[in-house]
Amino acid sequence: MGPFTVAALAIIGVFAIAALKEYNKHKGRVELDELVSIKTELEKLRERVGTLEQIVTDKSYQLKDEIDRL
């Protein structure tokens, strides 16, 4: 193996490592954005469930349900 081959392999290796680092950075950002989106959606769903619990446990709702059964 000549000195030019070794130098070429070293340069290619450096570029490959740099490209891999950039790829991992980008992949991490995408996953972080997706995680934030999922957390936001989860919070909205928790609020909706809380509202539904209030409606279902309300006395007037229960009374209406009992009247409908009669």
- pLDDT tens per residue across all 70 residues of the chain: 788 888 888 889 899 999 988 888 887 777 877 888 899 999 999 999 998 888 888 777 777 777 788 7
- Determine the angle formed by the axes of helices 3-57 and 59-69, rounding to 10 degrees: 70
Contacts with 61 (C-beta within 8 Å, 6 or more apart), sequence order? 55
What is the reported pLDDT for 34? 84
Phi and psi angles of residue 2, each rounded to the nearest 5 degrees, phi first: -85, 170
pTM equals 0.50
Give residue limits of the domains in the chain.
Answer: 3-69
What is the reported pLDDT for 52? 87
